[in-house]
Amino acid sequence: MLTFDENELQWAESIFRKIDAKMEKTLPRTKGVIPYRVENGKFENMVKKNICWWTNGFWEGLLWLLYSRTGKQAYREAAQQGETLLDGAFRNYPRLHHDVGFLWQLSAGLDYKLTGNSESRLRALFAASILMSRFNLDGGYIRAWNDYPDDDTSGWSIIDTMMNLSILYWASKELGDARFARVARAHADKSLHHHLRPDGSSKHIVVYDPQTGEELAERAGQGYACGSAWSRGQAWALYGFVISYHHTDKQEYLDASKRAANFFIASVQEDWLPRCDFRSPEQPVVYDASAGAIAACGLLELATLLPVEEGRCYKQAALHLLREMEAHFCDWNPDSDGILHYGSINYKEPEGRNRYLVYSDFFFTQAITKMLGSDLEIW
Ligand code: GLY
């Protein structure tokens, strides 16, 4: 059970007001834009650049978070504009990937939950069906990507997929059809045994034999190296497994989330500002605020589902992450885009390090609204 004292609530309320104030200024600059990262103070627009890009639902999700708390029509209208633009991704079906969950759960899915829009319901159901079609029946996993330079990715599973399972749990309930949730559970079971290491750290990419499902190899992904601990992947595991627990009551998923959380908490340094990889050299310092924001959401969810006494350490860890990131990473300048600085796309690409990223803003805002008691069922 999750409760906060007066000071904690006042702090969250003051941060929410700052987010709202900055987003009100940002909205007029972002008409027709689906933002990804910030270049020279301005959001990069993915509508023409790559409408299928995996992050294209977070902007709409952020706007729905703001709408659900403020009721301001401008947020709703902008979220619905983004959702309509995203239809271009359906028309590019061969380029779609496992992140159809992120794309449509946070855009159409939240629109349907908040407004009852029947077209949005259809979009979210199409997305769930696309995700289902990526399940490899012989291998027992959801295929992550289609293309990767010079590689056959048919056997590739990534820990990130755990976050996309929500749309399958939702579709099962919505249609009264158990198959979607069955596939979600099958993928979660496989990931539990193959992605999570005994020490609680997570592999980013696991390569299976697509005919048998046998694990063939671990691959380095966006972290420092093969065998390291990419912090965003760790956060996807932490949050993804507790979401699967929420939908299934399966104890192993809760235990997996706690293992991932314990590893995250043990690995984050004294300053609570997450590095991009928990097993990278001390220098250069590469932060990943998105990992901190995602982890904070997962930790708050753990604290919600666990008895107070057991959940306390997870709640405290979430508060440390949020407060330190707010103090050191947040940018409240109304004239530039992006809120939470120091997110990293990929450890190995210097230009991908220490950036403003739309998904950092989404998860940071989600954590703050969760502290304020939001009952919006996002995942
Ligand atoms: N899901 C892709 C990433 O976390 O970068």
Is 148's pLDDT higher than 90?
Answer: no
Determine the 3-state secondary structure of 295 from DSSP: helix
361 has catalytic annotation: no
Pocket of ligand 1 (CB under 6 A): 54, 160, 222, 232
Question: Which pLDDT band, with edges at 50, 70 and 90, does 149 fall under?
Answer: low
Helix axes 308-329, 358-371, angle to 10 degrees: 130
The 3-state secondary structure of 297-363 reads HHHHHHHHHCCHHHHHHHHHHHHHHHHHHHHHHECCCCCCCCCECCECCCCCCHHHCCECEHHHHHH
pLDDT value for 225: 97
- State the average pLDDT over residues 121-144: 98
What is the best residue among 54, 142, 161 to mutate for testing ligand 1's pocket, by most ligand atoms within 8 Å of CB? 54
Check if the beta carbon of residue 42 is closer than 8 Å to that of residue 355: no
What is the best residue among 236, 238, 276, 357 to mutate for testing ligand 1's pocket, by most ligand atoms within 8 Å of CB? 236
- Number of domains within the chain: 1
pLDDT value for 1: 87
- Residues 279-316: b if buried by 16+ CB within 10 A, e if exposed: ebeeeeebbbbbbbbbbbbbbbbbbbbbeeeebebbbe
The gap from C-alpha 283 to its chain's centroid, in whole angstroms, comes to 27
Q: Could you read off the pLDDT of 253-306 as tens digits, one per residue?
A: 999 999 999 999 999 999 999 999 999 999 999 999 999 999 999 999 999 999
Is 242's pLDDT higher than 80?
Answer: yes
Domain limits for position 78? 6-371
Catalytic residue of the set 99, 277, 337, 361:
99
Residue at 161: amino acid letter: T
CA of residue 295 to ligand 1 center, whole Å: 14
Catalytic residue of the set 160, 288, 337, 361:
160
Q: ∠113-115-116 over CA atoms, to 5°?
A: 70
- The answer to whether residue 78 sits within a structural domain is yes
- The answer to whether residue 322 sits within a structural domain is yes
Q: Which atom of ligand 1 is nearest to the CA of 236?
A: 4
Determine the 3-state secondary structure of 27 from DSSP: helix
Distance between start and end Cα atoms, the chain: 18
- The answer to whether residue 377 sits within a structural domain is no
- The answer to whether residue 246 sits within a structural domain is yes
- The answer to whether residue 378 sits within a structural domain is no
Q: Could you read off the pLDDT of 150-190 as tens digits, one per residue?
A: 789 999 999 999 999 999 999 999 999 999 999 999 999 99
- The answer to whether residue 1 sits within a structural domain is no
Whole-model pTM above 0.75? yes
Q: Could you read off the pLDDT of 309-353 as tens digits, one per residue?
A: 999 999 999 999 999 999 999 999 999 999 999 999 999 999 999
Q: What is the CATH number of the domain that holds 195?
A: 1.50.10.10
Is 130's pLDDT higher than 90?
Answer: yes
- State the average pLDDT over residues 189-200: 98
160 has catalytic annotation: yes
pLDDT value for 151: 82
**Length of the chain measured in residues:** 379
> Which residue's alpha carbon is at the smallest distance from atom 1 of ligand 1?
160
Which of 66, 64, 102 shows the shortest CA–CA distance to 81?
64
- The answer to whether residue 312 sits within a structural domain is yes
- The answer to whether residue 25 sits within a structural domain is yes
Q: Could you read off the pLDDT of 18-67 as tens digits, one per residue?
A: 999 999 999 999 999 999 999 999 999 999 999 999 999 999 999 999 99
Position with higher pLDDT, 148 vs 379: 379
